[in-house]
Structure 1
Amino acid sequence: MNGTVLFPALLVMAAGVMIAVQAPTNAMLSKAGGSPVLAALISFVVGTVALTVTWLASGNRPAASAFAGLPWYAWIGGLYGAFFVGAAAFAAPRIGLASLVTIAITGQIVAALLMDHYGLLGLPREPVNVGRIVGALLVVAGVVLVRRS
């Protein structure tokens, strides 16, 4: 792996670790507060504070006009994350962390293959091929093995 790919790959791997850690910590919040929605809310408030501090420290101040031409669906990305965080807080204690993560990754791969294939949401088109389908099926097989082992 060259340097232009290595750093982003390591960054994404670290993010993956944090997603795995987030589910059980949010499950603790859910149990204490009696609600996966409350747990997700607490998680997002903490995340919002962290992102606000990071953004303010960055010095990046785009003009409001930079956002004017965006499609409506560009504004709802947080809903997807909120759904995942709430679902993970609910599911982690019921199906286990390994199952949660492998099932989530299966959903991500299926969605990614479709989005790449059709070039959705401004992505470059990358047609589905046999290798990509076999890779996705191997992930599904991994889910089955994790769940049944």
Structure 2
Amino acid sequence: MNTNTLYLGLALITGALIPIQAATNAVFSKSTGSPLIASVAVFVIGLVAMLVMAVLMRAPAPSFQQLRSVPWYGYAGGIIVATYVVMITILVPRIGVGAAIALIVTGQIIAAVIIDHFGLFNVTVRSLDISRISGIVLMIAGIYFVMKK
């Protein structure tokens, strides 16, 4: 198996974990009565897991200078993932796992195409073309079918 195939497989498996997380977060939220408490628990558990992995993999701690060199938007990921975890925990019991994930993934695709097109956040430019527009249209059609009763 070549490295590219391995990475594609890992991406697919990771993607499959997202609706599982959404469903388990919703269960935690229902049990505790609070999507915010459920989200905090997810982050505490995640922090412990990441600290254990960092120690086991002997990841070197960055210097203060390295941390200062990170662009401001490099730190936005924490706020973004916190927003995602809270929102998915709120949305799943109300609109279902399928609809929530379909809408979120479509939002991701639209944002990704915009980021690529304009080269935002210092990424390589990949211009908008009919193929990418078609992909977005198909994603929107997919939302319709996933949400259709």
Other-structure match for 2:2: 3
Map 1:131-146 → 2, pairs under 5 A: 131-146=131-146
What's the secondary structure of 2:69's corresponding residue?
Answer: coil
RMSD (CA atoms): 1.2
Matched, 1:59 2:52: no
Once the two structures are superposed, residues 120-142 of structure 1 have per-residue CA deviations (whole angstroms, 9 ceiling, x without a partner) of: 11210000100000011101100
Distance 2:6 2:120 in 1: 26
Q: Give the count of matched residue pairs.
A: 148
Stretches of structure 2 that go unaligned for 5 or more consecutive residues are: none
Matches within 5 A, 1:88-103: 88-103=88-103
- Structure 1, gaps ≥5 residues long: none
* Runs of 4+ with >2 A deviation: 65-68
TM-score (norm: length of structure 2): 0.94
**Residues 1-149 of structure 1: pairs in structure 2 closer than 5 A:** 3-64=2-63, 65-149=65-149
Deviations 1:93-134 (A, max 9, x none): 111111111111110000000000011112100001000000
Using the aligned pairs only, state the percent identity.
33
CA shift for structure 1 position 11: 1.2
Which TM-score applies when normalising by structure 1?
A: 0.94
Alpha-carbon distance in structure 1 between the residues aligned to 2:137 and 2:8: 23
AA matched with 1:4: T
